[in-house]
Amino acid sequence: MSKKITFSKALREGLHEEMIRDENVFIIGEDMAVMGNVFGVTTGFLDEFGPNRVIDTPISEEGFCGMAVGAAMRGLRPVVELMYNDFITVAADPIFNQAAKTRYMTGGQATVPMVLRCPMGAGRRNAGHHSQSLEALFCHFPGLKVIAPSCAEDAKGLIKSAIRDDDPVVSLENKLLYAKKEEIPEEEYLIPLGKAKVKREGKDITLITWSRQVNFAMEAAETLAAEGIDVEVLDLRSLVPLDWEAIAASVSKTHNVLIVSEEVKRGSYAGELSAQIAEELFDELDAPVERLCGLNIVSPFSPVLEDENFPHPETIAKAVKHVLNK
């Protein structure tokens, strides 16, 4: 049995189920309690779970992220929200220097089982301070796990697995996915970290992507199918750990690769993937790996300019043809 709900409600269900299952799980962040989150994810949680488990904070990202790291080291399982992933620059030390490194630097004597939820992405006219996709930054630090769901089903299954994980997990959630409705199972389920999903089988080219760009990739693939080009769409779902076996299997089948990401192209996670594929799967390639990413600019406020700043189905289709020399 399945039901159709929004991405945000799927996240809500996952959080709710885990808070009921484990009293050590608590939620902390700006506007998470009384307001119920800017995107309505935790509406009603304060009434149900009380102020000790659903905590509103001051506008002090470094402070409440540091509190969460300490709480996790003492056995609790905090779910922290940065209102926008851009704000990680304010909270860099507790996340990158403490949460990511504690397990290794204590020889496993201390763990940091926390989740950091980070709304990300452009397209809402939020301008330069609230529109970035910073997956490359999060993936750079050993010790952090990073997920980037593209649909409601994955949002719920991955957040539940992230909460149960004993390492810090960053959940990157594109803001323009929150209102998207999709079918999810009625029964409880988990989706393991580190497992990609082939969203569409194909034989001509592998399109590797994640988060909202998966939807654009699927649109482009359907358009190209009408022109006789068969595209395989691989949704990574988890950026760290990376499902290298799924990537290798797909590239070995299609022998052509396009990586699509909303992030700025320079220094991107897409660039890391491109390098890995070129280094380890070179003999499988019929053409160089190409990347289609955001432009190397600050995200504009202007709707016309902002929409030119990240890939769309039309630009993805054009890039696929370029790789295939068509």
Residues with catalytic roles:
61, 130
Q: Which two tokens stand for residue 53?
A: 């488990």
Going by the DSSP 8-state scheme, the letter that residue 293 receives in this structure is E
CB atoms near residue 64 (< 10 Å) = 24
Q: Which two tokens stand for residue 189?
A: 């389920």
The sign of the CA dihedral 246, 85, 291, 232 is positive
Sequence-distant (≥ 6) Cβ neighbours of residue 106 within 8 angstroms: none
Asked whether the beta carbons of 261 and 294 are under 8 A apart, the reply is yes
Tell me the backbone φ, ψ of residue 235, rounded to 5 degrees.
-90, 110
Going by the DSSP 8-state scheme, the letter that residue 230 receives in this structure is -
Distance, in Å, from the CA atom of 138 to the CA atom of 214, rounded to the nearest integer, reads 20
